[in-house]
Amino acid sequence: MHTTTEEVRAWIDADPDPTARAELTQLLARAAGEPGDGAAESARADLDNRFAGTLEFGTAGLRGALGAGPNRMNRAVVIKAAAGLSAYLTSRVGAGFTVVIGYDARYGSARFAQDTAAVVTAAGGRAMLLPGPLPTPVLAFAVRHLGTDAGVMVTASHNPPQDNGYKVYLGGRVVTDAGQGAQIVPPYDAEIAARIAAAGPANLVPRTETGWTVLGADVREAYLRRAASLIPARHTRDVRIVYTPMHGVGGATAVEALRRAGFTDVHVVAQQADPDPDFPTVAFPNPEEPGALNLALDMARAVDADVVLANDPDADRCSMAIPDRTVPGGWRQLTGDEIGALLGAQTGQAMALTGRGVMASSVVSSRLLAKVARSHGLEHRTTLTGFKWIARTEGLVFGYEEAIGYCVDPAAVRDKDGISAALRLAYLTAQLVNAGATFTASLDDLARRHGLHATSQLSVRVEDLSLIPAAMARLRAAGPTTLAGSPVVATTDLAEGSPDLPPTDGLLYLTAAEDRVIIRPSGTEPKLKCYLEVIVPVPDTGDVTATRRVAAARLERLRADVAAAVGL
């Protein structure tokens, strides 16, 4: 056993959670079996994994599987994280620093939030706890609305049921530029991580039993008012919406926001309406995953809906499906890039009078948004992946990433917000229905103006994490020279950084045909992700349908070549 008994016992002694102590004690007892004992070997392997290191605190905060031990999400790890954050805030603004804390309905979330409040209070800070499980956008809104120095959201977003996480936002007196209220980026993450490492054993971290504030309904009410205000008072609202919160915490807030904006013909998928940390009706609680919207699509067909809207479990992401008679089942789920282009065009039209503002999208998102922005007289910026980067764009009026994340109200929420995005999509649906138009026609119009931008993704999930850096090393040593029959004319190692982008682990390939491939390790899952995009001009005949077939065929060739190059 690589992990020593002494290491495990030392962690047990320092863990303030009796359930976690019992879990490790039982695992240690099973691991003491004779060589060749299958149960003992399994227990030893489990311990090695739990003690392989400390759950890393980075720009995504913390995220990992629930369980006892330093490489898991548990009360001891959270208490130390809260202590490190408190020490950092004390060093920046002194005693009396303020932190607002939110949490979702996953296993352990409420307890982790309360532990954070107890540590912050004991450290001389003022902790404000949201009154119950609420969406991540409400917490992100609260950081700016209340002017707090930091915010913590306990959630694992769309990860599997066995996971949980800990997002950190900085604002108030700590961050005062365009990133005020956004999630942390370097160097904040490293500075907080250093304070966490210095925090000492979890059982010695001071905690109070009382002293924090449990907020009332005011913050959620303010968020709802702000979200509803994004929709013009006078517009056609006669649309039928099917909505699912995917067993998460977004349902009640999203439906109320839609109601306040005038959208009352909303049909919620009953089987997925209430928060359930087991996510029983989906294999993976992410609206992007194949099959995740099946129940919603069944309802849409049954009620003759105009649109399907879906949030992920913490409601910071939003997906949609539209009627399309050309596909089996009569409904098509749009890609994150298609939704981003539609929302970008909507924003551009709304900004036409001012002609000022910046749109932003991540480097792995479609290049179409840059063209949409320019067509409306707006600027565009490309950022690293993640809203911690997108939200920091100076002058931002709209930002998105292809993983169905959209920021439509950056003045209020410096993060992706699946609820306000759903309202904007409901409004767009109403505009199209009122004009006798369709989403397909709108996408076709964008293709005629800017070329058809077709995107897809190849994700390779691995059990052995060492396979990912090995694959990246192979590609750096000898990457592809042709893709989809076109020579690679530019290879960019994103790890080297550029005047526009900080360094990040990724490779970008551009071909003579303007096809683009970006390969990067996922920041939150054990995956190597490959982002594919082809651009095909629409002929003078304006036949977008034929152009889509050409693009789809090219994407398939690109996918096959990238899969071969990656070699996993």
Q: What is the pLDDT of residues 331-343, one digit of tens each?
A: 999 999 999 999 9
In angstroms, rounded to a whole number, what is the distance separating the alpha carbons of residues 314 and 58?
20
CATH of the domain at 240: 3.40.120.10
- Where does a domain end: 386, 416, 446? 446
Structurally, the chain folds into a number of domains equal to 4
CB 72 within 8 A of CB 99: no
Which amino acid appears at position 494 of this protein?
L
Pairing of the two strands 358-362 and 396-401: parallel
Query: Active-site residue among 157, 319, 456, 486?
Result: 157
Residues found in the chain: 568
DSSP state of 270: G
Phi, psi of 251 (to 5 degrees): -55, -60
225/228 Cα distance (integer angstroms): 5
5 and 29 together in one domain: yes
Q: Are residues 201 and 288 in the same domain?
A: no
74 with 38, same domain?
no
The pLDDT tens digits for 34-79 are 777 888 999 999 999 999 999 988 777 899 999 999 999 999 999 9
Asked whether 239 and 426 are in contact (CB, 8 A), the reply is yes
8 A C-beta contact, residue 27 and residue 47: yes
To the query of whether residue 157 is one of the catalytic residues in this protein, the response is yes
Between 205 and 1, the more confident residue is: 205
- 374 shares its domain with 397: yes
* Whole-prediction pTM: 0.95
What is the arithmetic mean of pLDDT over 170-196? 96
Same domain, 85 and 207: yes
Phi-psi label, residue 36: left if phi above 0, alpha if psi -120 to 50, beta otherwise: left
Last residue of a domain, one of 9, 32, 52: 52
* 453 Cα distance to chain centroid: 23
Same structural domain for residues 288 and 385?
yes
Are residues 304 and 339 part of one domain? Answer: yes
CA angle 340, 343, 349 (to 5 degrees): 135
Highest mean pLDDT pick, 348-362, 481-495, 524-538: 481-495
Asked if 29 and 40 touch (Cβ cutoff 8 Å), the reply is: no
Residues 14 and 67 reside in one and the same domain: no
Q: For residue 428, how far is the Cα from the chain centroid?
A: 23
Domain that holds residue 544: 451-566
Q: pLDDT tens for residues 497-537? A: 888 899 999 999 999 999 999 999 987 778 899 999 999 99
